[in-house]
Structure formats: structure tokens, C-alpha cells
Structure 1
Amino acid sequence: MNVAFGSRLRAVLVQRTQPMQRLLHTTNIAHVGRNKRKVNFKACAIKNRKEHAEIYDEQDRAYDIETVGDWEYDDHHTYGHMLLDNVRDVRKYVRLMKFEHPTLAQHAKPFRAPSSGHILRFERSVTMGDKTQAQDRKVVLHVQVAKLGLKGPELHKFLLLVGSRYSPETDELKMSEDREVTSLLNKKRLADTLNQLIAEAKKKDDMFSDVALDFTYRKYKHKMAFPEEWLPKNKAKAEN
């Protein structure tokens, strides 16, 4: 009984898959049917595309007449609108240069170097003409750890907290932030994070004095100074 059912199932599967196999193995140079007639699939595809295009054009024309009115298809294409947007952008900056830049002289102030109390240095990038760039909201913070006023166990705990963001060669802490939507919010987030790290380092509950600092992640290679006596001029002077 099972053998008969299996043979019947195979016969049904073969009968249903034969048309699909013939369809898959048929190419534009194959012969189809009893008359061995050659089928040009490329010409059929072109004809079908033309018919579909005519149908879509009629539908679009009917939709435009119903919604917009009698439209003569005299508008620019997509790239034309993109070119016009670029022209408008350039004209905007030309107007700024002509009318607003001359008035900036009355707001100018002399440059003053930052005082010793300004120990934080922030870096950010700005892309002119495009405010949607992701790298524009990224802010990088640089600060010398020696100027934070941490000493002894507090400094040890602070360096453990910051981890690989600290460079022992330059004694500089570098942190970056880009999770907020604007650079100003990222700058504030960096300042708040630094204050939290300093406050955590000053807590006396656990100073982690038994944990040693490990700077092997830096992979710093010391550069040997070239001996001056090996230089040709110095060598000649030494011989004289």
C-alpha cells in the first residue's frame, strides 16, 4: 500500500514539475513546440514594455487631469530640480557675502588667548552647505590630566576609570561623543561625563589601590636619538 502511494506521489510531482523545468531550460535560442519554432524573448520583452508604458501613461494622464488639470508635461525632470536647488544654495551664500558680511566688522572683537583656567579643549568638524552630515555632531575633548588637581590615590582611581582614553606619553585624556543630535549637546555630555569621572575618583569608599595600572595597550615605541658624533661634519671636527 505504501509503495503504491509513493509511486503515485512521484508521478504527480513529475507531472507538475515538467512544465517548470521546460520553462527554466528555455532560452532565446531554444526551439519550443512541435514545429520547432524559434522564440525571440527580447522582442517580446520590448513589446510588453511598450504596452505597459502606454497603459501607465494613460493612467498618469487621467490622474493629472483629475487632480492637477490640463498639464502639458513642461516641468523639469528630477536632475533639473536638483540643479536648481544647487543654484539656489549658491545664490543664498552670494547674498550673505554681499549684504551681511560687511556688517560683521562692527561685531568683531580682538583675539584673547585663553587663560590658565581654561583647561578643556573641544574639537568638532563643520561641513559647509550640508547640515545633515553625521560627523558634524561629533565632538572630541582633550584635557591634560595634571591640570585636573588629582593626586595620589585619586589620580590612580581616575586613570583606572578612563582606561585606554589616557595617553601616558603626553599625559592627555581624549574622549569623543556623537550620540546626541547636535554638537552642542555632545559637548555638554562630554563635560558632564568628565565631572562624573572626577567625582567618582574622589569617593573614598573604594580607591582600588590593589589594582595596578596597565599601559600595554598603547604599544609605545621609544625613539632613540641619533648620535651627533656620527654626523659627517662633527666627525670631521673631531678628527681635526
Structure 2
Amino acid sequence: MTATLFAFLRACAFLTRLPPVSRAFASGPHPLGRDAAVFPLVGLAAAAGPAALLAILPMLGLGVLPAAAIAVLALVALTGALHEDGLGDAADGLFGHRDAPSALAIMKDSRIGTYGALALTGSVLLRTAFLADLGAGSPHAAALALLAAAALSRGAMAWLWSALPTADRGGLADRVGRPAAATGLKAAGGGAFLSIALGLVAGGASLSGFAAALLPLAFAAGSLAWLRAVLKRRLGGQTGDTLGAAQQITEIAALLGFALAL
């Protein structure tokens, strides 16, 4: 139990802006990849506050659209825009039809290009739109959907990290230690379990509940399979930026599934 808690605290220190707990690092350097199994729990922790805003702000009289926008921006702030940064860099590198070395060089450039700007704008707009659509039906269902998508997408990110070799030797994802295959599967399974459970709660014991359990998972899995194929073909593996992109893409896909189901 203590080992899992410390893994969670270390992962939180890397994936969020939550203050690090020094005791979790007392044993010395610890590869982040070994802690990847708890990434879905970190997603829940990061999304807890934004989800509460989604549920509470409409009760105070705020419209569902501004509530959704505030929740999305709060989540971005709590994660330090870590995954959004990866999405923007990956979009610039992958959609320019460059060879692998050129694409990797573009991803390392701190400047944002047209593809990156469009990807970031699309990410914020789509997540806000899907959560507003869910909030119009039930703010509590929107909050549960955000929690589920946050857990599922981080499990997906960890699995992709373990499933593809590094394409950037010495890059961030390489330096912090690629997870073992079993660790990636645990993360993906944990994220899927949490998403299904929260989807069933959001939809209740009805047809929409089963749809909310299955559609987000199916959409996220489909988008992740597509991204894996693209990365394998274009880069021969993954980088830290593409892992951030994986989190963003699967979160959007999961929220789309919830919006259609509920």
C-alpha cells in the first residue's frame, strides 16, 4: 500500500502542478516509468477539482458553457499544460510531411506553428463543447465523464509509452525510463476499469449507462490505435510529445463517447 501511495505521489509530482511530497522521493532517484501503472489515479486527482466546478457552478447560476470552459482551463492549469504542450509539438512535427529526423527536430523547437496552434485550439474547444453538452443534460454526469476521461486517457498514454520503442534517444520519455509491458497493461486496464465504472454511475442502470460504459472506451481505443499506427510509420516509436498528444486525443475521444451516450 505504501509503495503504491509513493508511486502515486511521485507521478503526481511529474504529471501535475500539485506540490511534491519529499518523503516519496526519500529512496533516491526512481524512474517514472515504474510508476506508470498509477497514471489513471493521477488523472482522477488532477480532474477532481475541475469536475467539482462542473457540478457546482451551474447550481450557482452559471451557464453550462462557461462552467465547462472554466473546468477545462482549470485542468490545464493543474497539469501545467504538460499534455497540451506535447499535442502542439507533435502536431507541428507530424503534420508537416517531413521525414522522421526533421519531424523530431520540429517537435523540440519551442516555437509553435500553424498545426500546433490549430491542434491546441481544437482540443480546448472540443473538450469544452462536449462537457457543455453533457452539462446541459446533467452537470453531475459531465463531472463524472471528465473524471472518467482523465483516468482513461492517462492509462492510454502509459500503455502507448510501453508499447512503442523510443524514437528520440536521450529525450524526456527515454530519460525517465520506459515502462515494462506489464506496467503499461496495468495502467490501461486501470483506466478502462475506472472509465467503465464512472460511466455506469453517470448513466444509471439503463441503456444509456451501458452506452456510457462502452462508447468512450471504444472511441478512445480506436483513436489510440490510429495514433500508434501513425507514430510507428512516421517516427518508428514514441516521444514525450507524442505521449502528451495521446493523452489529449484519447481524452477528446472519450468525452465524445460520453456526449453521444448520455
TM over 0.5: no
Q: Could you say which structure has the higher strand fraction?
A: 1
TM-score range, shorter-chain basis?
under 0.3
Taking structure 1 as the reference length, what is the TM-score of the superposition?
0.20
Q: Which has the higher helix share?
A: 2
| Bigger radius of gyration | 1
TM-score normalised per structure 2: 0.19
